[in-house]
Amino acid sequence: MQDALVERLSSPVPRYTSYPTAPHFDESIGSEAYAECLAALGRKNRLSLYVHVPYCDRLCWFCACHTKQTLRYEPVEAYLKGLHAEIAAVGGRVAREAPVTALHFGGGSPTMLRPNDMAALRACLDRNFNFAPDAEISVEMDPNDLDEARHDALAAIGMTRASLGIQDFDPRVQKAINRIQTFEQTRGVVEAARARGVRSVNCDILYGLPYQTMETLAETVRAVVSLSPDRIALFGYAHVPWMKKHQTMIDEAALPGVVARFAQMNMAAEMLVAAGYEGIGIDHFALPGDRLAMAARNGSLRRNFQGYTDDQADALIGLGASAIGQLPQGYFQNMPATGEYLRRVEEGGLAVVRGYALTGEDRARAWVIEKVMCDFGFSFAELAARHPAFAGAVRAEAGGFAALDRDGLCRIEGERFLLTATGRPFARTVAAVFDAHLASGRGRHSIAV
C-alpha cells in the first residue's frame, strides 16, 4: 500500500527554496532594477549575504551547483578581483547602517581559496557592509582542501558555523560519485574547527546515491552521528543530468528506485531521531539546543536558497556568479557564466541578468508554501490577516484539495490546514497544490522523495 503511494507521489516537483522558483525568472529584470531595489533598503533593514565561489579542484558527479573544475589558481584570482568589485558596487548602493546578520560562503568550494585571499575577501566585505557583532558566518567546507593555514584563516574571518558535505562514507559509493573523502579526514576537520572556537557544525548526508544500500547508508549515519554535529541535512540526491551534464557520469542503473529511496530516507531519519536529533521540515535535523531546532519549535523557521534556516533578515543579497538574491520586491540572479559575470562587473559593478518581480498573489502563495514546507500547515486566519485579497481563493484551494484527498495527506482542523504524519514526507507535493506557476511547464525538477 505504502509502496504504491510512494510511486504515485514521487512525480517531480520543485524543492521550493523560493516561490516562484528559478525557472520562472526572466530577463526583463536586470541590473538597473536591482540597483533601485538595493537603494530602497533602509538603514534598519537586516541583511543576509551569500557569497558564491564557483570553483572546485575536483568535480563531484552528484553536484547540481553552479561550479567548474580548475587545477590552476589563476582563474580563481581573476574571479576574486571581480567579486571584490561587485561587493563594492552593491555595498555602495545599500544604506551603510543596515546591519548584516548572516554571511554564507558557498560554492563550489570556498575552502579552496588561499588563506590570504580569504582574509582579503572578508576585509572587502567589512569595508562595504556593516556587520552586526553577533553575525553568523557559515562556510561550506571540503575536507580535501583544508590544511592548518586554511583552518587558521577561517577562524580569522570569524567563521561560526562549519558546513561539511559528507554525502556517504562507503568507498564504492564515493568512487561512483567522484567524492573520495575518508571518515578520518572529516573527523579531523570537525576537530580542527571546534579547536578554533567554531560553535556549530553542520553535516550533509545524501540518500538515493548509486550503489547505496540500507546497510551502507546506516553505517554512514552512525559515523556522522559519532561526530556530534549540531545540525544534519539529509538530502535526497537530485538526478538532473539534463541540467548538469557531469551527472551523466553516474550509472543510472545503479541508482535506487523511488521506493528504495523512500525507505532509505525513513531509516536514516529514524536513526537520527533515536540519536537525539529533532526533525526539522522534510530533510533537516538538529540537536534540541541548536537555533534551528528552536526556530522550528517557536514557529520562526524559514526557507531560502540554502534550505531551512533561522535567518530572519529582511533581504538576502547574492554576490558572485550565478548568485541569487531575495529583496522585498522580488528575486535577482547574477550572470552564471564566470567570464561574462566578470565582464559585466568590470563595466558596471552589477551583474544581474534575470529575476522576478513579486505580485500580491505571489506573496500570499509564497507565505503558504513556506509554511507548508516549514511548519507542515498554516492558519487561515493568519493568511487572511497577512494577505486578505487572496486568502479566500487560497483557502478554497486548500479545502478542495482536502476534500479530494484519498491518501490521508492532510486535514482541515478548525482554522488550520495541516499535513498528517502520512503527508509530511510529501510536503513538496502538497506545496505544489498552491503553486500557480507550476502548470506553465517551465523547468524540469527532481523527484519528490
Q: In this predicted structure, what is the pLDDT of residue 315?
A: 98
Write the single-letter amino acid at 285: F
Provide the pairing of β-strand 410-413 with 416-419: antiparallel
What is the percent of the chain with per-residue pLDDT over 90, rounded to a whole number? Answer: 89
CA distances from 166 to 45, 76, 191, 242, 410 (A): 35, 24, 15, 24, 34
Q: In this predicted structure, what is the pLDDT of residue 293?
A: 98
Mean pLDDT (whole number) for 11-33: 94
Is 441 a residue whose pLDDT tops 90?
Answer: no
Q: How confident is the model at residue 443 (pLDDT cuts 50, 70, 90)?
A: low
- The rounded distance, in Å, linking the Cα atoms of 136 and 154 is 13
Provide the pairing of β-strand 55-56 with 47-53: unpaired
Q: In this predicted structure, what is the pLDDT of residue 288?
A: 98
Q: In this predicted structure, what is the pLDDT of residue 100?
A: 98
Instruction: Report pLDDT digits (tens) over 250-270.
Output: 999 999 999 999 999 999 999
Mean per-residue pLDDT of the chain: 95
Closest-CA residue to 424 (of 281, 327, 240): 281
Mean pLDDT (whole number) for 50-75: 90
Q: Any bridge partners for residue 140, and if so which?
A: 163
Closest-CA residue to 164 (of 127, 119, 194): 194
Using a 10 angstrom Cβ sphere, with 0-12 exposed, 13-18 middle and 19 or more buried, the burial of residue 214 is middle
Q: In this predicted structure, what is the pLDDT of residue 283?
A: 96
Q: In this predicted structure, what is the pLDDT of residue 440?
A: 73
Residue with cell 538597473: 32
Is 350 a residue whose pLDDT tops 70?
Answer: yes
Phi and psi at 401, nearest 5°, equal -65, -45
The reply to whether domains 11-356 and 359-436 share a CATH topology is no
- CA 154 to the chain's CA centroid: 21
Q: In this predicted structure, what is the pLDDT of residue 66?
A: 83
- The rounded distance, in Å, linking the Cα atoms of 149 and 115 is 6
- The rounded distance, in Å, linking the Cα atoms of 345 and 354 is 15
Mean pLDDT (whole number) for 435-444: 78
Is 444 a residue whose pLDDT tops 80?
Answer: no
What is the percent of the chain with per-residue pLDDT over 70, rounded to a whole number? Answer: 98
pTM of the model: 0.95
Q: In this predicted structure, what is the pLDDT of residue 442?
A: 64
Q: How confident is the model at residue 79 (pLDDT cuts 50, 70, 90)?
A: very high
CA distances from 336 to 123, 142, 317, 357, 400 (A): 25, 22, 16, 20, 40
Instruction: Report pLDDT digits (tens) over 319-334.
Output: 999 999 999 999 999 9
Q: Any bridge partners for residue 26, and if so which?
A: 355
Residue with cell 558527479: 61
Vertex 81, ends 79 and 82: CA angle to 5°?
65
- The rounded distance, in Å, linking the Cα atoms of 203 and 212 is 18
- The rounded distance, in Å, linking the Cα atoms of 181 and 188 is 12
In this structure, what C-alpha cell is assigned to residue 20? 516562484
Q: Any bridge partners for residue 103, and if so which?
A: 49, 137
Instruction: Report pLDDT digits (tens) over 94-107.
Output: 999 999 999 999 99
Residue with cell 547505496: 212
C-alpha dihedral over 402, 13, 446, 439, to 10 degrees?
150
Q: What is the CATH number of domain 359-436?
A: 1.10.10.920
What are the start-end ranges of the E strands in 247-375? 278-280, 284-286, 302-304, 307-309, 315-319, 324-327, 330-334, 352-357
Domain locations in the chain?
A: 11-356, 359-436
Write the single-letter amino acid at 102: A
Is 115 a residue whose pLDDT tops 90?
Answer: yes
Instruction: Report pLDDT digits (tens) over 289-325.
Output: 999 999 999 999 999 998 999 999 999 999 999 999 9
Mean pLDDT (whole number) for 75-101: 97
Provide the pairing of β-strand 47-53 with 231-236: unpaired
Is 65 a residue whose pLDDT tops 90?
Answer: no
Q: In this predicted structure, what is the pLDDT of residue 3?
A: 86
Q: In this predicted structure, what is the pLDDT of residue 2?
A: 82
DSSP three-state, residue 138: strand
Q: How confident is the model at residue 345 (pLDDT cuts 50, 70, 90)?
A: very high
Domain 11-356 part of CATH 3.90.850.10: no
